[in-house]
Amino acid sequence: MDARFFLASGFVALATIAAVLIVAAKPDKPAPASLAEATLATRHAPQPAAIPPKPAQAKDEPFVIKRILPIKGAIRYGEWHWDEKDVPAGPIVVTVDLEARVISVFRGGYEIGAAAVLLGTEDKPTPLGIFPITQKDKDHVSNIYTGAPMPYMQRLTNDGITLHGSDVALGYASHGCVGMPDAFAAKLFDTTKIGDKVYITRGKQIGMGDSLIGG
């Protein structure tokens, strides 16, 4: 047989094998020919759904003290004042000064109430800080202190610190709560809502033009 036939047959066989190898090695999708093509392909590739950003938390806004009740001299034990005539609606903020032993109530920057209060002792002090009102109970009875009545109770902490009505008199003390005359406690109870804040400070007096944080 002609040698050229065998040679041609060999070329055909080699070409067939090469074609099979090329087809087997061919990827489903051609590789990018350049970095630019690869970048473009990435840009057009399906992207995971974007996670929406969390909404920004509202911050407390300061408001300026616009009125202080015209009280002459120190407030005596058992004494209280309340005047909300012509005071517009607004956020309620309660302040308690441990040094002056006075509670003040502000609506939209206007002081509408003030009273002398009972506070805790050195062994069971009234805590300093900012406390939102978390519970209200008009006819609350203590489950910690042998069923003691705590009318117009407004809870500040989970370990028993509250605002409530009490027999406010010189020489009396609380177990850390803020006690006030019952009539004042009733007005405060009707004025506040869950979430209103109580600022307990020591020696920080509030005056006209001063700023508080409301919310």
| pLDDT per residue as tens digits for the range 74-102 | 999 999 999 999 999 999 999 999 999 99
pLDDT in tens, 132-172: 999 999 987 776 666 678 899 999 999 889 999 998 887 78
Give the bridge partners for 212, in sequence order.
Answer: 63
Residue 113: φ, ψ to 5°:
-155, 150
Does residue 44 carry a catalytic annotation?
A: no
Q: What angle do CA 206, 212, 215 make, to 5 degrees?
A: 140
Q: Name the percent of the chain lying above pLDDT 70.
A: 65
More confident residue, 3 or 204: 204
Q: What is the dihedral of CA 140, 144, 145, 146, to 10 degrees?
A: 90
E runs forming strands in the chain:
61-64, 80-82, 92-97, 102-107, 110-116, 129-132, 135-141, 149-155, 162-165, 178-180, 197-201, 211-214
pTM assigned to the model: 0.68
Does residue 81 carry a catalytic annotation?
A: no
pLDDT in tens, 45-67: 555 556 655 544 445 556 688 99
- Catalytic position from the list 44, 140, 175, 177: 177
- Residue 20 pLDDT exceeds 70: no
- Catalytic position from the list 44, 81, 140, 164: 164
Q: What is the mean pLDDT of the chain?
A: 78
Give the bridge partners for 96, in sequence order.
Answer: 103, 200
List helix spans (H) across the chain: 3-25, 35-44, 182-191
CB 64 within 8 A of CB 207: no
pLDDT at position 206, please? Answer: 67
More confident residue, 38 or 165: 165
